[in-house]
Amino acid sequence: DYNEVQVVVLHKEEGVGLGFSLAGGVDQNKPITVHKVFPSGVAAQEGSVREGYQVLSINGTALSGTAHSEALRVLRKAKARDMAVVVLKRGGDGGASVKGVQKEDKCADVRQETGQRVCMQLQKIGRDLGFSLQGGVGSSEGNRPLTIQKIFQGGPVDKVFPGDEVLEIKGTSLLAMRRLEVWTFIRGLPPGPVEVVLRRPLLHQQT
């Protein structure tokens, strides 16, 4: 089943469109899908957005059950910001199906015993994944790794620890992202299981 949900972060200039058009809407009895990806646009340069993919949300605004005109309004509104978070569901016939298989296997390959990269599934309930973050690109201390600051009450205390570096969420690398961008990205994720890749600091063996 390649109908997996994918979160795409598009970095762009303010006032620039996202680089794709939409088709469908509840008034047309069709889901909102990517109609056309413009060759020189932001989405084409990023490479994850394909024609025919279903668009679940843009910048946290869900598009399921919206009319075509309302979906277009959400798409136009996204021009005003310098970043857009788009949640897609890809179709089974997309050219990305092979990539999807690799992505699913990646979690199995990560060996927990190394103490380095740790891959896990966390549940998104509400607006976040149960922890706060510090660091990131352009933080008050400069460009720092994005690390877990503290675990909220009811959060995944048995799985993640303060100081763990967050490398990827749902297949998207966070290495070049600001903390605020990551928060927007996490908020835009649909509720349910989320694959997270961490780097856990090793205690230095040398004396």
What is the DSSP annotation of 170-188?
TTEE-TT--HHHHHHHHHT
The mean pLDDT value for 177-205 works out to 82
Domain boundary (89, 118, 152) is at 89
pLDDT at residue 145 in the model: 87
- In the chain, the number of structural domains is 2
Express as a percent the part of the chain with pLDDT over 90: 39
The label of the residue with tokens 């990806």 reads 37
Going by pLDDT thresholds of 50, 70 and 90, the confidence category of residue 116 is low
**Predicted TM-score (pTM) of this structure:** 0.48
Do 119 and 187 share a domain, yes or no? yes
Going by pLDDT thresholds of 50, 70 and 90, the confidence category of residue 3 is low
For residues 23 and 30, give the distance between their C-alpha atoms in angstroms, rounded to a whole number: 8
What is the domain extent for residue 73?
5-89
Domain boundary (89, 120, 144) is at 89
Do 54 and 119 share a domain, yes or no? no
Do 183 and 120 share a domain, yes or no? yes
Q: Is the pLDDT of residue 204 over 50?
A: no
CA distances from 136 to 82, 105, 166, 177 (A): 17, 27, 10, 6
The mean pLDDT value for 105-127 works out to 65
pLDDT at residue 91 in the model: 67
- How does the average pLDDT of the chain come out, rounded? 82
Strand locations in the chain (E): 5-11, 20-25, 30-37, 54-58, 61-62, 83-89, 117-124, 131-139, 142-151, 165-169, 172-173, 192-199
**CATH code at position 136:** 2.30.42.10
For residues 58 and 22, give the distance between their C-alpha atoms in angstroms, rounded to a whole number: 12
Paired tokens of 128: 């976040």
Going by pLDDT thresholds of 50, 70 and 90, the confidence category of residue 200 is confident
pLDDT at residue 5 in the model: 84
Q: Is the pLDDT of residue 49 over 60?
A: yes
Q: Is the pLDDT of residue 96 over 60?
A: no
The full length of the chain comes to 207
Do 132 and 57 share a domain, yes or no? no
pLDDT in tens, 140-187: 888 888 999 999 888 888 888 888 999 899 888 887 788 988 998 998
Going by pLDDT thresholds of 50, 70 and 90, the confidence category of residue 99 is very low
Do 125 and 63 share a domain, yes or no? no
When mean pLDDT is compared across 43-47, 95-99, 127-131, 148-152, the lowest value belongs to 95-99
pLDDT at residue 102 in the model: 38
For residues 26 and 64, give the distance between their C-alpha atoms in angstroms, rounded to a whole number: 8
7: Cα separation from own chain's centroid: 4
